[in-house]
Structure 1
Amino acid sequence: MTETLVKEAMTTPMLTLDAEATVDEASRGMLEAGIKSLVVVGEACRPEGIFTSTDVLQVAADGRPTDEATIGEYMTSPVKTVDPDTSLSSVGRRMVEEEVSHLPVTDADGNGVGILTTTDVTEALSAAELPAGST
Structure 2
Amino acid sequence: MEDVFIARVMTAGATTVTPETSVEEAAQVMLDQGIGSVVVVDEEGRLAGILTTTDFVRIVAERQPKDESTVADFMTTDVVTAVAQDVVTDVAKKLLEHQIHHIPVVTDDDHIIGIATTTDLTSYVTTLEEYE
TM-score of the superposed pair, with normalisation by structure 2: 0.90
Which protein has the larger Cα radius of gyration, Structure 1 or Structure 2? 1
Task: Report the number of matched residues.
Answer: 132
Asked if residue 113 in structure 1 is aligned to residue 117 in structure 2, the reply is no
Unaligned 5+ residue runs, structure 2?
none
Give the Cα separation in 2 of the matches to 1:20 and 1:118.
28
- How does 1:80-95 map onto structure 2 within 5 Å? 80-95=80-95
Counterpart of 1:55? 55
CA contact (8 A) 2:13 2:112 kept: no
Give the Cα separation in 2 of the matches to 1:19 and 1:62.
19
CA contact (8 A) 2:22 2:66 kept: yes
Give the Cα separation in 1 of the matches to 2:62 and 2:98.
26
Q: 1:98 to 1:57 in 2, by over 3 A?
A: closer
Residue 129 of structure 1: CA displacement? Answer: 5.0
CA contact (8 A) 1:11 1:115 kept: yes
Residue 58 of structure 1: CA displacement? Answer: 1.4
Asked if residue 44 in structure 1 is aligned to residue 47 in structure 2, the reply is no
Residue 131 of structure 1: CA displacement? Answer: 6.5
- What fraction of aligned residue pairs are identical, expressed as a percent? 35
Counterpart of 1:5? 5
Counterpart of 1:102? 102
- The one-letter code sitting in structure 1 at the alignment partner of 2:67 is D
Give the Cα separation in 2 of the matches to 1:118 and 1:86.
15
Unaligned 5+ residue runs, structure 1?
none
* Deviation >6 Å, runs of 4+: none
| Structure 2 SS opposite 1:55 | helix
Counterpart of 1:18? 18
CA contact (8 A) 2:106 2:114 kept: yes
- The one-letter code sitting in structure 1 at the alignment partner of 2:90 is S
TM-score of the superposed pair, with normalisation by structure 1: 0.89
